[in-house]
Amino acid sequence: MDRLALAGLIIIFTLFVVAVFDGFLAGNKPIVVRWNGGLYFPVLFRYNELEGVETVNLQQGSRKGDFALYPPLSYAPNESDLLTVLSPPSISHPFGTDDRGRDVLSRMIHGTRISLSIGFIAVGIAALIGILLGGLSGFYGGKVDFIVSRLFEIMMTFPVFFLILTILAFRDPSIYNIMIVIGATGWTGIARLVRGDFLKLRNYGFVEAAIALGGSDFRIMLRHMLPNALAPVLVAATFGIAGAILVESALSFLGFGVPPPTPSWGDVLSQSKRYVDFAWWLVLFPGGAIFLTVTSFNLVGEGFRNAIDPKIR
Amino acid sequence: MKNILEIRNLRISFTIEKKPVEVVSDTSITIPEGKVIGVVGESGCGKTVTALSVMRLIPDPPGKITKGEIIFDGANLLELSESDMRSIRGNRISMIFQEPISSLNPVFPVGDQIGEALRTHLRVSKSEERERVIEMLKLVGIPAPEERLKNYPHELSGGMCQRVMIAMALICRPQLLIADEPTTALDVTIQAGILELINDLREKFGMSVLLITHDLGIIAEIADEVYIMYAGKVVEHSSVKGIFERSSHPYTKGLLNSIPDMRERKRALSAIPGNIPSPKDFPTACRFQNRCPYVIEECRINEPPLREIMPGHHTACFRAEEVGSGA
């Protein structure tokens, strides 16, 4: 695999780690607390015993051996501090704060999980619909193919972004609805790839042989044809994730995205609209993160494509 | 003797450019239990379509069986439901194809593919499946079967792949094996081995074989009876001996004359003049009329029926007796 794709893969892996361990990196809950002889993990669970305990005061440790270990960045994504509104990057706020005094880095760390899960789940939905419809269309051909092909041609004539905006204007823009809408509008590319591959594979000897051995249609599609058609789907899905993350950011930027105060990169970026002339940190950091992530997924997709394309090798 | 398969008056047509074109006309083939029946003809004469129709694998549309019956073990296959048909395919009737390498799925190991029919039809346990796959690989003469079943198709040679195909087809012990040009894609030395294998397994399992080929040499080697097809019709049917000793259709004669004979040195090989006509423009009456050296006026007016010119020897030619007696 080429070096750029590898770099992309490393960045994606890092983002995954950040997304999974967001609470350990930034937040106002301690990671570990030792209090009255018991060990507690407030990042992961809620403890009634710790109700009313000022864990902040335990940070330095105490006589009884009690202590609290906080994440390196001790601000919660939605914790606002009106004394530090719109402060530029400093040691305590490495990426600065927004107009409500919320820490930008913390919001971005917690937004990673939102952005990545929207990317993956939306593409998962798109791949499922695409494989199903494309597969049926390519396998049965004839009337089924005619109907399904027209369906995705109609789908493709819509400017997808405006379609999504329109749908979200009528529906409650929760994170699940955004995933479903992006997935339900993004399956045409995958469907076309699978249809093409299935049309080709349908005439292959081993498919005929599988029919001659008495396999059912479903079994033949799933076990014999799909594994042979999966490589291009993987490539398309990787590009699709980049696209979905971008669409989500754009939606949030326009105010149609995940509802506030849920942190997402697009949401942080949208805060910058009014202060763009001086609050450069509100533009640079979330914008850079979106750019880096989308580029990484595209590089990995490119790497996959080169790996499966015999003409380039 | 009981007949395992009877194809009666089969007619198959394909819709080409919106017009129905008959590619198999009024064909009857009978396969007695335990015998090897050969079907011989040029490319495009309808032999593969006939074989596929037994498995009900003709793509519909454009293909359609318009008339006839296919009786397998007492039941008309053309009247069965698709799910009943599925339980017959690979289980009681199996098929092996011309191109062994492309007939195997490139993404699965061969052991997995051989076991597939077992899993589909008999629902055996994992360990029993493995055991039977290994046993079958031994039967088809693949050395070190425990190792080979983990191999992918591209790691095996063409001859090996054909043996794997045979193992796949026979693992459920079918009563009838349809072999569609099983050796065409293989080297001559490997051909003989594969034919011997099919013949051995036929005896071992007591199955019948429908062997489709364009090579009369293969027929001479293992078939019991032979049907010669030309342009979608059976033109001659007899025992193998009858065909080689007293071929009485001009087309069969032409085929035999195009095989090199080691006893005669100087004779140039004769080819049958012309090409097989496309099904769109089969001539009326006798379909061989335009290429036939024996053609008479009647051949262009009436269609010669398939008639018994000797016990067990049927020919569709008005001048069969003359053709058969030499000349």
CB contact under 8 A, B103 and A228: no
B61 upstream amide cis, omega within 30 of 0 = yes
Alpha helices by DSSP H, A141-187: 142-157, 160-170, 175-185
Query: What is residue B327's predicted lDDT score, i.e. its pLDDT?
Result: 47
Q: How far is A215 from chain B (nearest CA, A)?
A: 7
- CA-CA distance, B88 to A41, in Å (whole number)? 62
DSSP state, residue A103:
B
Q: Above 60 in pLDDT, residue A313?
A: no
User: What is the model's pTM?
Assistant: 0.74
For range A152-162, the mean pLDDT:
87
Q: How far is A214 from chain B (nearest CA, A)?
A: 5
Q: Judge whether A228 is closer than 8 Å to chain B, CB to CB.
A: yes
Burial (0-12, 13-18, 19+ Cβ within 10 Å), A46: exposed
Query: What is residue A135's predicted lDDT score, i.e. its pLDDT?
Result: 92
Interface of B with A (CB under 8 A): 55, 57, 61, 86-91, 94-95, 97, 99, 102-108, 116-117, 120-121, 165, 168-169
Largest CA distance in chain A: 80
B167: chain A residues, CB-CB within 8 Å:
none
Give tens-digit pLDDT for A82-117.
887 888 888 888 888 888 888 889 999 998 998 899
Domain boundaries, chain B: 3-230, 233-324
Query: What is residue A311's predicted lDDT score, i.e. its pLDDT?
Result: 64
DSSP state, residue A223:
I
Query: What is residue A130's predicted lDDT score, i.e. its pLDDT?
Result: 93
List all residues of chain A from 142 to 161 with a beta carbon under 8 Å from chain B: 142
Q: How far is B85 from chain A (nearest CA, A)?
A: 8
Alpha helices by DSSP H, chain B: 47-54, 82-88, 110-121, 126-139, 145-148, 158-170, 188-205, 216-222, 240-245, 250-257, 320-324
Q: Which of A98, A101, A97, A96 is nearest to A81 (CA)?
A: A101
Query: What is residue B254's predicted lDDT score, i.e. its pLDDT?
Result: 84
Alpha helices by DSSP H, A203-264: 205-212, 217-219, 226-254
CATH 1.10.3720.10 fits A104-308, yes or no: yes
Query: Mean pLDDT for chain A?
Result: 85
Chain A and chain B share a number of CB contacts under 8 A equal to 62
Give tens-digit pLDDT for A193-249.
999 999 988 888 888 888 888 888 888 898 888 888 888 898 899 999 999 999 988
CB contact under 8 A, B94 and A210: no
Query: How distant is the alpha carbon of residue B138 from its chain centre?
Result: 25
Q: Which of A216, A222, A213 is nearest to A194 (CA)?
A: A222
In a 13 Å sphere around the CA of B326, the CA atoms on its Cβ side amount to 0
Long-range residue pairs from B214-218, CB within 8 A, at least 24 positions apart, any chain: B214/B40, B214/B41, B214/B42, B214/B43, B214/B181, B214/B184, B215/B40, B215/B183, B215/B184, B216/B40, B216/B243, B216/B255, B216/B256, B216/B259, B217/B259, B218/B38, B218/B183, B218/B191
Q: How far is B242 from chain A (nearest CA, A)?
A: 33
Backbone CA torsion sign across B142, B146, B147, B151: positive
Query: What is residue B318's predicted lDDT score, i.e. its pLDDT?
Result: 86
Q: Above 70 in pLDDT, residue A63?
A: no
Per CATH, the homologous superfamily of domain B3-230 is P-loop containing nucleotide triphosphate hydrolases (3.40.50.300)
Q: How far is A259 from chain B (nearest CA, A)?
A: 45
3-class state of residue A45 by DSSP: coil
Residue B119 has φ and ψ, to the nearest 5°, of -65, -40
Tokens of A199: 């049309």
Query: What is residue A61's predicted lDDT score, i.e. its pLDDT?
Result: 63
CB contact under 8 A, A206 and B61: no
Q: Above 80 in pLDDT, residue A305?
A: yes
ipTM: 0.70
Q: At what angle do helices B126-139 and B158-170 cross, to 10 degrees?
A: 130
Residue numbers of chain B with a pLDDT score lower than 70: 1, 261-267, 326-327
Give tens-digit pLDDT for A35-50.
777 778 887 887 777 7
Q: Judge whether A227 is closer than 8 Å to chain B, CB to CB.
A: yes
Give tens-digit pLDDT for A175-184.
888 899 889 8
B107: chain A residues, CB-CB within 8 Å:
227-228
A217: chain B residues, CB-CB within 8 Å:
none
Q: Judge whether A219 is closer than 8 Å to chain B, CB to CB.
A: yes
